[in-house]
């Protein structure tokens, strides 16, 4: 698409700056192209084809008039809506779009609005102001206290209080301490970590530097899955730029604070996202979780005290330090403070990525913001929190987005992935697919997870083939309890969640497969490939 745009500009001899920006969240409308004439509004075009791109260049860039039938929205220019030729009445403000209307942007404040490859655009929009404030006006203890006062909790899935976690590391007097940023992000349906790194890498780097200053750490790693070239390239490019102007390295901003940072890669291992397995991978070993205690704050990377945070968690920190912990704590619901970044996929009219305040009703997100299920079909379920999360029926999505509320409902917020499924979805088959993923991704180190996942998958395969028995339901519960009690890490401890929640809300569908020997949706009656079980 970029090549088509550049060729069209050259053909017309038009002088224009072409910028590749990050994600604005309207993923269903990709690829997006927007045009801003001098002093005018920013006009957005969605689902742009090469032919449409050429027409937009000719009509809008060269001719000065927006292509009304292709335009999907606009952001007003500095002089108002009517500047630079005006906007047709049929084209609405982009901020009125259902997905954007519910947003409160903090971590995603710059996404899609600045060139992620230009550090000076980040600085021009307030970037590194928080770091300067911390280094010149605040002690490390005061920096930790602001994060603690904000109520920020980890956005990688565990929702552990970030300030408390930082205090563990700050209390160590070791001469070498590490800050690790987890961008492994292997959850199907979640892509917000990668989107932050691709769209605004410097907000992550600034967050890591603030974490390093607050805890007394002097080195760090951004841990990204091998093959995710977009975030890898963006992170490396941003680090080079930050080092060139003295924001990473020795004596940062003349403060005496030293911090080295680099990008580390892992192979295709889902379990590498577990914090101790992440450290094993950076050290060059197979990504498998460690026995604990000792915990990372005492004995972490290379045996040194270490703190691990998710990309989203660290991306909030610059705004917390810039605006104060009380400001962040004023947003959210009860003990779930701030916003959450959701990735909406599946059977929805508008799929995409949005940042909303915690406490918003999930039903409003699905039906108002995402437009509900298309083609006149009805919502059957949502699967949240990744493959280790839970399944909620459509009758139970009237819940607020809150860590504790969702947990009590049998689901988790996890990394923010929400997959919607319509009436044609077989819950048993979906559960089998989730467990198949978890079984394949088990590292195999501990017996309860290694064999438990395989047993669950064997039973679900049998039920999908309409060969199950009622005893299989009790068997799965027993296996799940053993996994929860005996697994070494969250992969096994949470691995029964998809099954337990599916049985809780769709027990009748399991019984139809077992007792009635039929699949109500017909999915399991269709001939299909059944993958061989992979034992480890």
Mean pLDDT score, 16-44: 93
Per the prediction, the chain carries an average pLDDT of 93
Whether a cis peptide bond, with omega within 30° of 0, leads into 294 is: yes
Read off the pLDDT band of 528 (50, 70, 90). Answer: low
Describe the crossing of helices 447-464 and 497-514 by its angle, rounded to 10 degrees: 30
Which region, left, alpha or beta, applies to residue 296 given φ > 0 means left and ψ of -120 to 50 means alpha?
Answer: alpha
Are the C-beta atoms of 147 and 166 separated by less than 8 Å?
A: yes
CA–centroid distance for 298 within its chain: 28
pLDDT winner (highest mean) among 156-160, 264-268, 392-396: 392-396
pLDDT value for 79:
65
Cis peptide before 433 (omega within 30 of 0): no
Q: What pLDDT is stored for residue 529 in this prediction?
A: 43
Extended beta strands in 90-243, E state: 178-183, 219-225
Domain 119-329 falls under CATH 3.40.50.11540: yes
Distance of CA 1 to the CA centre of its chain: 26
Over residues 183-202, mean pLDDT: 93
**Predicted pLDDT of residue 411:** 83
CATH topology (fold) of 427-525: de novo design (two linked rop proteins) (1.20.1440)
CA distance 362 to 411: 12
**Between residues 52 and 410, the one the model is more confident about:** 52
Sheet holding 352-357, edge to edge: 352-357, 339-346, 417-422, 379-384, 390-393
From the number of C-beta atoms within 10 Å of its C-beta (0-12, 13-18, 19+), residue 530 rates as exposed
The domains of the chain are located at 2-96, 119-329, 338-422, 427-525
Residue 460: pLDDT band with limits 50, 70, 90: very high
Rounded Cα gap, residues 165 and 147, in angstroms:
10
What is the pLDDT averaged over residues 490-495? Answer: 93
Query: In whole angstroms, what is the distance from residue 398 CA to residue 350 CA?
Result: 19
Specify the pTM. Answer: 0.93
Write out pLDDT tens, residues 317-355: 999 999 999 999 999 999 999 999 999 999 999 999 999
Q: Region 190-204: what's the mean pLDDT?
A: 96
Rounded to an integer, the average pLDDT of 383-389 is: 90
For residues 389-404, average pLDDT? 92
* Domain 338-422 belongs in CATH node 3.10.20.600: yes
pLDDT of residue 80: 59
CB burial string 177-210: b at 16+ within 10 A, e below:
bbbbbbbbbbbebbbbbbbbbbbbbbbbbbbbbb
Lowest mean pLDDT among 126-135, 217-226, 333-342, 404-413: 404-413
Report percent pLDDT > 90 for the chain: 85
Tell whether the model's pLDDT for residue 536 goes beyond 70.
Answer: no
The residues, any chain, with a CB within 8 Å of residue 195's CB and separated by 6 or more, are: 22, 23, 108, 111, 353
Between these two residues, 328 and 414, which has the higher pLDDT value?
Answer: 328
pLDDT for residue 108: 97
Find the range with the poorest average confidence among 29-33, 81-85, 250-254, 445-449.
81-85
Give the closest residue to 91 by CA, choosing from 114, 67, 110: 67
Residue 410: the pLDDT is 82
Q: What is the pLDDT of residue 440?
A: 94
Among 69-83, 325-339, 456-470, the minimum mean pLDDT is found in 69-83
- Structure confidence by residue, pLDDT tens digits, 81-139: 544 456 888 889 999 999 999 999 999 999 999 999 999 999 999 999 999 999 999 99
Query: What is residue 469's predicted lDDT score, i.e. its pLDDT?
Result: 96
Phi/psi-derived region of residue 340, left when phi > 0, alpha when psi is between -120 and 50, beta in every other case? beta
Q: Do the domains 2-96 and 338-422 sit in the same CATH topology, yes or no?
A: no
Q: Is the predicted pLDDT of residue 175 greater than 50, yes or no?
A: yes
Would you place residue 379 in the very low, low, confident or very high pLDDT band (cuts 50, 70, 90)? very high
Q: Can you tell me the mean pLDDT for 225-231?
A: 91
Q: Does 2-96 carry CATH code 3.40.30?
A: yes
Q: How far apart are CA 287 and CA 266, in angstroms?
A: 8
Helix, strand or coil, per DSSP, at residue 57: helix
Which residues are 154's β-sheet partners? none
């Amino acid at each position: 698409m970029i090549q088509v745009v550049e060729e069209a500009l050259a053909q017309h001899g038009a002088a224009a700056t072409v910028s590749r920006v990050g994600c604005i969240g309207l993923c269903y409308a990709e690829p997006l192209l927007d045009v801003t004439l001098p002093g005018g509004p920013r006009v957005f075009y969605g689902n742009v084809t090469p032919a449409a791109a050429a027409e937009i260049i000719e009509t809008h860039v060269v001719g000065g008039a927006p292509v009304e039938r292709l335009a999907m929205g606009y952001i007003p220019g500095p002089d108002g809506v009517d500047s630079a030729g005006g906007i047709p009445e049929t084209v609405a403000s982009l901020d009125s779009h259902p997905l954007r209307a519910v947003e409160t942007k903090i971590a995603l404040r710059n996404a899609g609005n600045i060139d992620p490859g230009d550090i000076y655009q980040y600085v021009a929009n307030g970037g590194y102001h928080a770091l300067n404030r911390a280094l010149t006006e605040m002690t490390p203890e005061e920096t930790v206290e602001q994060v603690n006062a904000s109520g920020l909790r980890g956005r990688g899935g565990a929702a552990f209080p970030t300030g408390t976690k930082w205090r563990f590391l700050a209390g160590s007097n070791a001469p070498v301490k590490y800050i690790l940023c987890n961008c492994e992000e292997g959850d199907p349906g979640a892509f917000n970590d990668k989107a932050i790194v691709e769209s605004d890498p410097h907000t992550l780097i600034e967050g890591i530097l603030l974490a390093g200053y607050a805890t007394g750490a002097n080195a760090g790693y951004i841990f990204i899955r091998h093959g995710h070239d977009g975030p890898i390239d963006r992170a490396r490019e941003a680090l080079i730029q930050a080092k060139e102007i003295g924001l990473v390295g020795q004596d940062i901003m003349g403060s005496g604070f030293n911090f080295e940072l680099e990008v580390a890669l892992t192979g295709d291992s889902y379990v590498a996202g577990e914090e101790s397995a992440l450290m094993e991978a950076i050290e060059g070993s197979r990504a498998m979780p460690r026995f604990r205690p000792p915990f990372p704050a005492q004995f972490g990377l290379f045996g040194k005290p270490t703190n691990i945070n998710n990309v989203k968690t660290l991306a909030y920190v610059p705004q917390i330090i810039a605006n104060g912990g009380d400001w962040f704590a004023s947003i959210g619901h009860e003990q779930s403070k701030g916003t959450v970044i959701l990735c909406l996929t599946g059977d929805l009219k508008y799929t995409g990525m949005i940042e909303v305040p915690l406490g918003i009703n999930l039903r409003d997100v699905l039906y108002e913001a995402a437009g509900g299920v298309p083609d006149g079909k009805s919502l059957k379920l949502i699967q949240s929190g990744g493959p280790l999360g839970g399944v909620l029926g459509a009758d139970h999505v009237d819940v607020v987005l809150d860590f504790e509320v969702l947990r009590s409902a049998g689901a988790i917020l996890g990394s923010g992935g929400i997959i919607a499924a319509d009436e044609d979805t077989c819950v048993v088959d979906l559960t089998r697919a989730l467990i198949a993923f978890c079984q394949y991704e088990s590292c195999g180190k501990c017996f309860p997870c290694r064999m438990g996942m395989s047993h669950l998958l064997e039973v679900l395969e049998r039920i999908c083939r309409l060969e199950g028995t009622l005893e299989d339901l009790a068997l799965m519960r027993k296996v799940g309890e053993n996994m929860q009690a005996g697994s070494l890490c969250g992969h096994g401890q949470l691995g029964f969640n998809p099954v337990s929640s599916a049985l809780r809300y769709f027990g009748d569908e399991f019984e139809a497969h077992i007792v009635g020997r039929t699949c109500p949706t017909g999915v399991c009656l269709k001939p299909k490939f059944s993958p061989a079980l992979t034992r480890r």
